[in-house]
Amino acid sequence: AYQVLKQMAESHAKLCNREKVMRQDVLVAIHICEKFIKSLFETDSYSSPNESKVTAIDHYDAYMSKLSEWYSCFTKDILEKM
């Protein structure tokens, strides 16, 4: 998973004509992966934190904390069902 995020962040930086990866590139990569995961696994009973409230990059820290907590609960429930 780390390698995928790293490559996506590097690709986004290149699309923005930058040689170095910036924080915003990493956040975009995380956001894209999150959307993909949601499209595969999310149901009404497993709603992740609402990202529409994130209006600036600075708000991502609080959002990512909530997302991490949600992901931990989600994976724990899935593993218990297996």
Cβ neighbours of residue 28 under 8 Å, at least 6 residues apart? 8, 9, 12
The reported pLDDT for the residue numbered 44 is: 55
Find out whether 42 and 51 touch, Cβ atoms under 8 Å: no
The reported pLDDT for the residue numbered 11 is: 92
Reference 3, options 39, 34, 32, 29; nearest CA is 29
Convert the pLDDT of each residue in 17-61 to its tens digit. 999 999 888 888 888 888 777 776 665 555 555 565 655 665 666
